[in-house]
Amino acid sequence: MKGKILGSRYKVIEYIAKGGFGKTYLAEDTQLPGKNKCVVKQLYPSGEDSKVLAVARRLFYTEASTLHILGHHEQIPKLLAYFEEEEKFYLVQQYIKGQTLAQKLTNAQAWTETQVIKLLKDGLNVLQFIHSQGVIHRDVKPDNLIRRDSDNKLVLVDFGTVKEVLHGQANANQLTVAVGTQGYMPIEQARGKPLPASDLYALGAIGIQALTGIVPIDLEDDQEGELIWESLANVSPKLAQVLTQMTRYQPDERYQSATEVLQALDTLYDVEVENQSIGVNKNINWETSEAVNPPNIIASPVVEKFQPFSNAINLNTDENIGQNTGYNAVALNNKLTPIKVNPVFTQGQFKSQLNVNKPQYKNISSLEIASLAIALITLIIGGIYILLQQPNAVQKESPANSNGPSLSTPRMNQREGFRKSL
């Protein structure tokens, strides 16, 4: 088959896989300048009877029409062409470059809750779309989910087993066969009666496999058919509840739509926040509004309580600034609403926050120092002058010819002599 030209256009490069309804090849479009790669899926009926062939042809073109509609979603490969050749039917679809989830889950290493929630949301966005188009995939499994290299989004492939929901037809169940993969296929699908909740079961089983590192077929179940897995994973009760309801044994006990699951996931908070740091340097230029080097800014996990904005900065130390960042409360419509405090400040805000407890010093000029010195010297000289004038005042108050005792003392005479000498 390698090198064969199909539909006078698509040259087979290599064989990819084989399923119950056909084979899949990697090919190139010889009629395009860049010879773009594409995926060619060869479908063939199970019998050679003319009536069987006619029914197969009708179903093939119906399926091709359905895939053409589904291909408008960004996470579903586009249908490029479909044709019949030598009583075999071919679908040509967009080639998705990336790795399948099966490749990413082979090491049996448990994923974090954040990774699993992203996986679920990606997959649910696709299922929400195809279910709205009246289509059930019936084979959601790690091999059919590709993590696209260009944007890291999940792409759902292999729609060869899609079943279009036939509303209002009594014999619709007679046209359905059991298609799927063990471990990801719920009980009603094994009985040939798939529902949209069947695809939700499969995606939930993939989420459990990512958390536990165990293939779903290897998990035990209880007497009621429910999977036993929570004790094997490090998982929060909220996420465990969502996955458990996605994989209930009875389909009516599961979520009935992808929208319901997405709403349930929106109530969850990220339980794992990766701390990011920007560099550590304590040198702050106090004379300007900018830091010489930004301090260590650390994102803290989300907390479910209110903290004052001042807690965002440790005023007693310049280490780990922003470490205690929590929530601030703002009034919206007379209600307190939590908003997350952003630990990154503008230059002006950064200075104003750090200057709260910083002592303020005033620069003293040389002129002020000289003035103080002159005042001090004047004060000293004035004090000496007043001290020297005191003996003269005493002598003037004493009568010149008084017979009373002399007021002169040796100490006063000494001062008088000192004054005369001056």
**Which positions are annotated as active-site residues?**
139
Give one word for 333, left, alpha or beta, with left for phi > 0 and alpha for psi -120 to 50.
left
Give the C-alpha separation, 414 to 338, whole Å: 86
- How many alpha carbons lie under 13 Å from residue 119 in its C-beta half-sphere? 30
Q: Give yes or no for a contact between 201 and 186, defined as CB atoms under 8 angstroms apart.
A: yes
Residues sharing a CB contact under 8 Å with residue 364, sequence separation 6 or more, in sequence order: none
Between the alpha carbon of residue 371 and those of residues 361, 367, 379, 383, the distances in Å are: 20, 6, 12, 19
Give the C-alpha separation, 369 to 373, whole Å: 6
Between helices 237-246 and 113-132, what is the axis angle to 10°? 30
Give the C-alpha separation, 138 to 179, whole Å: 7
For β-strands 10-19 and 22-29, DSSP reports them as antiparallel
Helix (H, G, I), strand (E, B) or coil at 263: helix
Q: Give yes or no for a contact between 42 and 26, defined as CB atoms under 8 angstroms apart.
A: no
Distance of CA 59 to the CA centre of its chain: 43
DSSP 221: B
Give the C-alpha separation, 53 to 365, whole Å: 104
Between the alpha carbon of residue 52 and those of residues 65, 171, 250, the distances in Å are: 20, 18, 35
Give the C-alpha separation, 354 to 183, whole Å: 58
Nearest to 79 by CA among 24, 119, 39: 39
Between the alpha carbon of residue 259 and those of residues 71, 109, 134, 245, 262, the distances in Å are: 20, 29, 15, 14, 5
